[in-house]
Amino acid sequence: MGQQHDIYYVPSKSQWPIVAAVVMFLTVFGAAHWLNAEPGESGFGKTMLLIGFVGILCMFFGWFRSVIHESMAGSYNSQVDRSFRMGMMWFIFSEVMFFGAFFGALFYIRMFSVPWLGGYGHGVLTHQFLWSDYTASWGAGGGNGPAHVGGAFQTVVPWGLPLLNTLILLSSSVTVTIAHHALRAGHRGKVLAFLGFTVLLGASFLACQAHEYIEAYKELNLTLGSGVYGCTFFMLTGFHGLHVTLGTIMLSIIWLRVLAGHFNKEHHFGFEAVAWYWHFVDVVWLGLFMLVYIL
C-alpha cells in the first residue's frame, strides 16, 4: 500500500462548514415555520426555506469544488483516500439504518398492529370495544385501517411499472460497473457512454415512478393518507426515489468530471463512491420491490 506515515495531510481552514451549518439551519427553520403557518398565509417560512435550499446547493458546489481542486493538485495522499473511503462506507451504513427504521415499521404494522386491530392475539381489546367489524387484511381490503381513512383504494400492480423499474435499476447497476471497468482500463469513451447510459436509466426510473405516483393518486385513490398502507408505501418508495434522484445527480456530475478528465486509472474515488451509493440504492429497491409491492 505504500503508507507514507511521515507525511501527513491536514487540510487548511475552510469557510464551507460554517456556511453549511447556516444554510442547513435556514432550510429547516424556514420549513418548520412554513409547516406551522396558518392556512392562506405562508409567512417568511417559504422564502427562508427557498434561500436555505439554494444555499445548500451552492454550499455543495463550493465545498466539492475546493475538494476537487485540492484533489487535482495532488494534495491527497493514500491515507486521505482511505479516510474518504471509510467516510463513504459508514455514511452508506447510516443510510441503511435509516431505511431500516421504515422497513421495521412496515414489518411491525403488518405482523402486529394490523392483526391486533383485527382481534388477533391475547387480550387485545381495541377489536372488541372500538372496531369489532374490522377484519385484519393488507392491501386494498384493510390496509387503511379499521376507520378506512382516505376511502377505498387499489394497490399498484407489481408486475407492470414496478417490475420494469426493477429491471431498469438492475441494468443500471450493470452499466455503472461496466463504466468502472472501462475507467480502470483507461477507455474514456466507453466510460462516458456507459455512465451516460446509467444516468439515463436513473432518469427513466424516476419518470416511471412519477407516472406511477400520479396514477396512484388519480386513478387508484392510493395516497399518503390511505392509512398505514398508503404511508408505508409512499414513505418507503418516496425516500428511495429521493435517493435515486440524488444518485442520478451525483452520477451526472461524475459524468461531467469524466468529461473534464478528472479521473485516471488509479485515482477515481469520486467515481467509486457514487457507484457504491448507486448499488446501495439498487439493493434498497430490491427490498422494496419484494416487501412493498409483491408481498
Residue numbers 85-124 binding another protein by CB under 8 A: 86-87, 90-91, 93-95, 97-98, 100-102, 104-105, 108-109, 112-114, 116-117, 121-123
39 lines the binding site for another protein (CB under 8 A):
no
Minimum CB–partner distance for residue 116 and another protein (Å)? 8
Burial 45-74 (b: 16+ CB within 10 A, else e): beebbeebeebbeebeeebeeebeeebeee
83 lines the binding site for another protein (CB under 8 A):
yes
The piece of 74-82, 171-179, 244-252, 259-267 that touches another protein (CB under 8 A) is 74-82
From 102, 54, 142, select the one nearest 287 (Cα to Cα). 102
225 lines the binding site for another protein (CB under 8 A):
yes
From 66, 77, 89, select the one nearest 7 (Cα to Cα). 77
218 lines the binding site for another protein (CB under 8 A):
no
Residue with cell 463512491: 273
Residue with cell 411491525: 108
**Exposed, middle or buried, 104 (CB in 10 Å: 0-12/13-18/19+)?**
exposed
Residue with Cβ nearer another protein (145 or 241): 145
> What are the DSSP calls for 178-204, one per residue?
HHHHHHHHT-HHHHHHHHHHHHHHHHH
277 lines the binding site for another protein (CB under 8 A):
no
200 lines the binding site for another protein (CB under 8 A):
no
56 lines the binding site for another protein (CB under 8 A):
no
Minimum CB–partner distance for residue 246 and another protein (Å)? 15
Q: For the chain, what is the largest distance between any 2 Cα atoms, rounded to a whole number of angstroms?
A: 74
Minimum CB–partner distance for residue 98 and another protein (Å)? 4
The piece of 78-86, 160-168, 179-187, 241-249 that touches another protein (CB under 8 A) is 78-86
Residue with Cβ nearer another protein (153 or 194): 153
121 secondary structure, DSSP code: S
18 lines the binding site for another protein (CB under 8 A):
yes
Which of 1, 5, 129, 219 is in the footprint of another protein by CB under 8 A?
5
With contacts defined by CB under 8 A, how many residues of the chain interact with another protein? 76
Helix (H) or strand (E) holding 55: helix 45-72
- The Cα–Cα gap between 40 and 256 comes to 43
- Tell me, residue by residue from 137 to 166, as one string, x for binding to another protein by CB under 8 A and - for no binding: -----xxxxxx-xx----------------
Residue with Cβ nearer another protein (126 or 204): 126
227 lines the binding site for another protein (CB under 8 A):
yes
Burial 212-223 (b: 16+ CB within 10 A, else e): bbeebeeebbbb
Minimum CB–partner distance for residue 259 and another protein (Å)? 27
- The Cα–Cα gap between 74 and 7 comes to 13
